[in-house]
Amino acid sequence: MEVILAKNAGFCFGVKRAVDMVYEEAEQHENVYTYGPIIHNEEVVEDLRKKGVHVVNTVEEIKQIHEGTMIIRSHGVSKEIYDLLEQQGLRIVDATCPFVKKIHNIVKEHTEQGEEVIIIGNAKHPEVEGIKGWGEGNVVVIETLEEANNYEPPADKKVCIVSQTTFNYKKFQDLVEIISKKRYDIIALNTICNATEVRQSEAMQLAKISDAMIVIGGKTSSNTQKLYEICKKECKNTYYIQTLVDLDMDLFQSFRSVGITAGASTPNNIIKEVQIACQNRALNKC
């Protein structure tokens, strides 16, 4: 059995930067918090908890904290959260991914000019919630073909389209095409992270030539879920796991080739563990 690991599996630049920042703060300071889990990976969050990093999930919880360090995770937050953290007198460490920060600036600029902004993405995802919070109310979130078809652009405003950084690139194009036909003055900015595009394209090509695919990542990770959807479309024997514990190696007895990819929040040690287990299975079959 041939085992092929995707070249771009695992931590992207923004996630690695954020995780490194939290570990550094945990070593140097007490009373360290993150607003929401720093990344969508339960193993990393649990390890940080053991090192004294507390996860804060709501505005009400922030209001109970009056000292310490609050780390803004890679997904970013709304302007309202920034302002609240300053009001509480907390030391702020901003680990927002630079690509997400760029979208914040775009949304702020275009809404200040009186334009309506459309975010192509999942309205419930923390990245999209944060982006929306820089739009002064003039923001619409669209995720599905139905929502795009039903959208009616305002008659008195220009419209600017941006995307969640981890959104499916092909789906983004399809939604933009539908919306753009509604008015001549709608502009679309592809703000999908290049690493996301490369990862998705690579996973699709690997799935096409593999008998089975393993997609590794947290169950709440948006970009990992999209990788799974892409791989499943090309390879029916696609398995979504968080760690090696979730993988039934007996399923791979009859496969000649197995591809492995992983979401942007998946640590390298977990990926390597799965890869080695598959390679050992391949050797045992020889």
| Residues tagged active-site | 127
Q: What is the Cβ-side half-sphere exposure of residue 42, based on CA atoms within 13 angstroms?
A: 8
Contact 134, 176 (CB under 8 A): no
Please tell me the distance from the alpha carbon of residue 66 to that of residue 62, in angstroms, as a whole number: 8
Q: How far is residue 102 from each of residues 113, 117, 124, 258, measured CA to CA in Å? A: 17, 14, 20, 37
Residue 139, H or E segment: strand 139-142
Please tell me the distance from the alpha carbon of residue 40 to that of residue 130, in angstroms, as a whole number: 16
Nearest to residue 19, comparing CAs of 56, 42, 58, 45? 45
* Strand arrangement of the beta sheet that strand 69-72 belongs to: 53-56, 32-35, 69-72, 91-94
All residues at 6 or more sequence positions from 165 whose CB lies less than 8 Å from its CB, including other chains:
97, 99, 100, 103, 127, 191, 192, 193, 196
Nearest to residue 242, comparing CAs of 222, 224, 255? 224
Contact 12, 193 (CB under 8 A): yes
Amino acid occupying residue 93: V
All residues at 6 or more sequence positions from 175 whose CB lies less than 8 Å from its CB, including other chains:
120, 142, 145, 148
Contact 76, 117 (CB under 8 A): no
